[in-house]
Amino acid sequence: MDYSTEGCELSRKRLQQAGINGQVYQRDLFEPNEDLQGKFDCVVSFGLVEHFEDTGEPLRLIRRFLKDGGTILTTAPNVDPASLNVRVMRRIGPKVLAAHKLMTLEQLRSSHEACGFETISSGYEGMGLCLESDDPEGRSTRLLRMAAYRSVQLVRKSLELLRQRPPVIRLTGYMMVYVGRA
């Protein structure tokens, strides 16, 4: 489900490329959508909840689409105020960052639980930085983005040579991921 024509078309294209038969609904989450209530075993939310001051609002709406015992997978960029992601975004993309509710992984988990989800797992995934900026062509922005990207890349490559997994922690995690059951 997506409210944008472009998002729906892209989803249909990707399903077709993967050889997956699926239905894409161009709908508004905030409409009743009664025909979809209780219809799905699993719902996935990519980068939605962090755009709401009350993260429970979209979660309550999403939950109604799940069958009893259904699974939710929610991903959000690492918007923990103590993360490198947020620290870099404060410099290169304060306007982009302002469109996000800063929250910890614990707050993301608690928000799901307050909406009736039972936590299966929650954690950080990946190691990296979101490098969206307010002025992508600005010289200082380009230099900072390049330095941040190269630094993370150097750490990753060094760890690969040492045959170590990158640390997926609050500071360096790229994404926050929650999996729960309705």
Q: What is the C-alpha to C-alpha distance for residues 29 and 62, in angstroms, rounded to an integer?
A: 8
Cα–Cα distance for residue pair 164/172, rounded to 1 Å: 15
Residue 99 is predicted with a pLDDT of: 95
Place of tokens 């999403």: 62
The pLDDT score that the predictor gives to residue 172 is 82
41, 70 Cβ separation under 8 angstroms: yes
Q: Which amino acid is at 5?
A: T
Q: Are strands 66-77 and 40-46 parallel, antiparallel or unpaired?
A: parallel
What per-residue confidence (pLDDT) applies to 138?
Answer: 74
The pLDDT value given to residue 148? 74
Q: Which of 164, 82, 171 is nearest to 127 (CA)?
A: 171
What is the C-alpha to C-alpha distance for residues 122 and 104, in angstroms, rounded to an integer? Answer: 11
The pLDDT assigned to 82 comes to 93
DSSP code of residue 37: T
Q: Residue 118: helix, strand or coil by DSSP?
A: strand
Q: In what order do the strands lie in the sheet with 118-127?
A: 40-46, 66-77, 173-181, 118-127
What pLDDT is attached to residue 151?
78
* pLDDT over 90, % of the chain: 68
**8 A C-beta contact, residue 23 and residue 51:** no
Chain segment 38-51, per-residue pLDDT in tens? 999 999 999 999 99
Ranges of residues in the chain whose predicted pLDDT is under 50: none
pLDDT in tens, 134-162: 777 777 677 777 777 787 778 778 878 88
pLDDT at 128: 73
> What is the model's pLDDT at position 80?
95
pLDDT at 115: 97
Report the Cα 4 to chain-centroid distance in Å.
18
Q: Residue 153 in 3-state DSSP?
A: helix
Instruction: Spell out the domains of the chain, with CATH numbers in brackets.
Output: 1-31 (no CATH), 32-181 (3.40.50)
